[in-house]
Amino acid sequence: MALPNTQDEGPADLENTADTEVRPPAPPPFSAKPPRLLIIGAGSRGRVYGRCTIQSSNGVVAAVVEPDDYKREEFGRNFIWGDKAAPDGSHFTDWRDFITWELGRREREKAGEVVPEGVDAAFICVRDEMHHDVLMALAPLDLHVMCEKPLATTLDDCVDMYRAMAPHQMDRVFSIGHVMRYSPHNMMLRKLLLEDKAIGDILSVMHTEPVGFWHFSHSYVRGNWRKKSTTAPSLLTKSCHDIDIILWLLCSPPPGSDEPPHLPTSISSAGSLQFFKKSRKPKAAGSATNCLSCAAEKDCLYSSKKIYISPKHQGIETGNIRWPVSVVLPDIESFGGDHAKVVAALLPKLAEDYDESTLQEVIDSRNWWGRCVFESDNDVCDEQVVTMTWDEDPLPASSAASSDSVGGRGSKQATFHMIAQTKKQCHRYSYIYGTEGEVYADSKTITVEDFRTGATTAYKPKLESLGHGGGDHGLTRQFVLAVDKVKNHSWAAARAQREYIGCSLEEIIRSHVMVFAAEEARIAQRTVVWKDWWDEHVGSDMLDGQQKSDKVAQHIQG
């Protein structure tokens, strides 16, 4: 069975819920020739970026790639052609079809033919394991690219993608779907810590991602991200956001600074699949492999009927027709809000089961949305702790950014905790301890305790939307603005990357490499030395951020 082309997950789609919708600010003014965008994958993330483009950016969605006919047509009607006929070059069933069409369009244009206008940039929103092949094929087209996180599911693929994109840094911007960098909450937190020095130098960070007990069962037990062999470890597929934010606070230099990154020293990790396994199966469930035929279903927290139908979570009885229900029933909107018809279509999906006669390859090849969570083939961690350390690495005393002999680059450490069994769902929180104060930050409030004055100050950054606290809109807006600056305002791509994306290719690779290093540390039960691991697995031929910036600057200056 072929894998679908779509990355169709994510609670961010809940921002569509009418009674809780938070509207983003008005989009920036349009240029004479607005950036034209291609969305590859019309699942949850593709729809989010399509909607954010229209609501928050000065770009236009010009084309979509999606193999599912219903999703492709729905996306086109909502974001591209409306009630009119679909224009030539605006929809494709496969990303390879788009590449073939675009190459032909360029040849016809060179020959003097009148052809449809092409696209300037692409959002890659397909399944994680497909990112590598799609990006490698797009690279020769010289488009600006935003790739949904994670960059790829293996370290080798991540490095390949870096090397494919690096030569284009002179004229094309590249972004990664680390949307948490772009939420007003996290932007304010970083400013308070790195620019305002609200608690002095950071000494320690304790950051937690509570995934949510039923959310984990949907995505990482029954869903697409349940097996390392077909996707990647949960630390990458779920928590690369969090590792990136930690490095953003402790490793990347402050905005406008030319400091080199303060690189970590060591990584250790512990974690396992603790709960969602057969040894935890209730005795009353017996040999049942499906919720709808299980004697223990009424008392089970993970009953598929409770998750996808019941009002206890985000089932259809709450009025929700998006994630997670739309993952089980992709054409749910075609039922026109008829609750009885939706339930009638959904129950057979949840009842789908296998038995002794079913080939193992068939069982392995698909998601079984009514499957017993204690009988699944999942193997990713449902709890994991990662500890990172930094040695003291003071800046030169002559550095303008240096306020003392250490200049904010003293020894420090960070601990990250991912846990599945929580009531909170992805509402991350952090405790940050500094030399002159401490911070508690959750998804809505940042509370600063100042040791110097004894004052307690609470900050409540404006929420732009419910999609990652506004990060979905922020990332989309910044990426499209960067593309616009290069296309219409003669900016060098390196400048647009720095001022609008705010994240270099090197930072993207660094945070992904940290995840793979942590996984090796966990599996081998040892502490990994960052520099040694980087040199061995990535290679010294990859320039660090400062060297690459110097090379780009030299090129721009002629």
Q: Which of 306, 341, 364 is the C-terminal boundary of a domain?
A: 364
Does residue 216 sit in the same domain as residue 290? no
Closest to 241 in 3D by CA, of 508, 419, 467 = 508
Closest to 302 in 3D by CA, of 282, 287, 319, 286 = 282
Does residue 346 sit in the same domain as residue 452? no
CA of 558: how far to CAs of 169, 489, 552, 553, in Å? Answer: 15, 19, 10, 9
Which pair of tokens denotes residue 193?
Answer: 């810590």
Does residue 437 sit in the same domain as residue 486? no
Does residue 390 sit in the same domain as residue 478? no
Cβ neighbors of 357 (< 8 A, separation 6 or more) are none
Does residue 31 sit in the same domain as residue 96? yes
Residue 190 lies in a domain: yes
Residue 541 lies in a domain: no
Q: Which of 421, 443, 463 is the C-terminal boundary of a domain?
A: 463
Angle between helices 505-524 and 545-556 (to 10 degrees): 160
Task: Give the per-residue pLDDT at 17.
Answer: 35
Distance, CA of 264 to CA of 305 (rounded, Å): 46
Distance, CA of 252 to CA of 372 (rounded, Å): 43
Residue 517 lies in a domain: no
Do 29 and 58 form a contact (C-beta atoms < 8 A)?
yes
Residue 307 lies in a domain: yes
Total domains in the fold of the chain:
3
Does residue 189 sit in the same domain as residue 165? no
Per the DSSP assignment, residues forming a β-bridge with 438 are 433, 449
Residue 546 lies in a domain: no
Distance, CA of 368 to CA of 68 (rounded, Å): 19
Largest CA distance in the chain: 74
CATH number at residue 245: 3.30.360.10
Does residue 246 sit in the same domain as residue 267? yes
Does residue 321 sit in the same domain as residue 426? no
446-450 and 437-441 beta bridge pairing: antiparallel
Residues of the chain falling short of pLDDT 70: 1-22, 397-408, 464-469, 540-558
Does residue 166 sit in the same domain as residue 254? no
Residue 162 lies in a domain: yes
Angle between helices 471-488 and 44-56 (to 10 degrees): 60
Task: Give the per-residue pLDDT at 333.
Answer: 84
Does residue 294 sit in the same domain as residue 193? no
Task: Give the DSSP H/E element, type plus range, for residue 548.
Answer: helix 545-556
Do 238 and 220 form a contact (C-beta atoms < 8 A)?
yes
Q: Is 483 exposed, middle or buried (0-12, 13-18, 19+ CB in 10 A)?
A: buried
Annotate 11-36 with b (16+ C-beta within 10 A) or e (fewer): bbbbbbeeeeeeebeebeeeeeebbb
Residue 531 lies in a domain: no
The radius of gyration of the chain's CA atoms, rounded to the nearest angstrom, is 24
Provide the Cα torsion 140, 144, 149, 152; round to 10°.
10
CATH number at residue 149: 3.40.50.720
Do 417 and 182 form a contact (C-beta atoms < 8 A)?
no
Provide the Cα torsion 218, 428, 124, 74; round to 10°.
60
Does residue 455 sit in the same domain as residue 474? no
Does residue 174 sit in the same domain as residue 222? no
Provide the Cα torsion 483, 485, 491, 493; round to 10°.
-20
Distance, CA of 494 to CA of 379 (rounded, Å): 41
3 state SS for 39-103: EECCCHHHHHHHHHHHHHCCCEEEEEECCCHHHHHHHHHHHCCCCCCCCCCCEECCHHHHHHHHH
Which pair of tokens denotes residue 284?
Answer: 């009353």
Q: Which of 312, 333, 364 is the C-terminal boundary of a domain?
A: 364
Do 13 and 36 form a contact (C-beta atoms < 8 A)?
no
Neighbours of 541 (CB within 10 A): 6
Cβ neighbors of 267 (< 8 A, separation 6 or more) are 386, 387, 388, 389, 514, 517, 518, 521, 527, 528, 530, 533
Task: Give the per-residue pLDDT at 83.
Answer: 94
Task: Give the per-residue pLDDT at 391.
Answer: 97
Residue 401 lies in a domain: yes
For residue 384, report the phi and psi dihedrals to the nearest 5 degrees: -155, 145
The one-letter amino acid at 480? V
Q: Omega of the bond prior to 24 within 30 degrees of 0, cis?
A: no
Task: Give the per-residue pLDDT at 212.
Answer: 96
For residue 123, report the phi and psi dihedrals to the nearest 5 degrees: -100, 120
Q: Is residue 320 classed as helix, strand or coil in its secondary structure?
A: coil
Which pair of tokens denotes residue 490?
Answer: 């003669």
Q: For residue 131, what are the domain limits?
A: 11-178+469-491
